[in-house]
Amino acid sequence: MDPATRRATRAGRELALTLREFDLLAYFLGRPCAVHSREELMREVWGWDFGDLSTVTVHVRRLRAKIEDDPARPRFVRTVWGVGYSFEPESDGEPENDGEAA
């Protein structure tokens, strides 16, 4: 990921990320393995203190579609049930099931 040019690649291929997808990925990469609530992501990535939290869920789903080998069984952007999401740069466990509801 290159924040200066706002470009990200995976396996040598440039990812076609929207503004918010890029910001979300950058936030996750800067805080690997930490668990982030949807409220925190809304505040820190979107800059909103309130809003529809499904916005975060939709963007996580779209980001997964672009960075995961199998978005239905994510390895990188993991759901921590009842809490939020975590970015696992090198997941060595079994991928979780879909994981849209955080």
pLDDT by position in tens, the chain (length 102): 999 899 999 988 999 999 999 999 999 999 999 999 999 999 999 998 888 899 999 999 999 999 999 999 999 999 999 999 999 987 444 444 444 444
Sign for the pseudo-dihedral over CA of 18, 24, 29, 35: negative
What token pair was written down for 22?
Answer: 């890029």
Comparing C-alpha atoms, which of 89, 76, 8, 85 is closest to residue 45? 85
Q: What is residue 97's predicted lDDT score, i.e. its pLDDT? A: 46
Comparing C-alpha atoms, which of 16, 23, 28, 30 is closest to residue 80? 28
Q: Is the pTM of this model over 0.75?
A: yes
Q: What is residue 49's predicted lDDT score, i.e. its pLDDT? A: 85
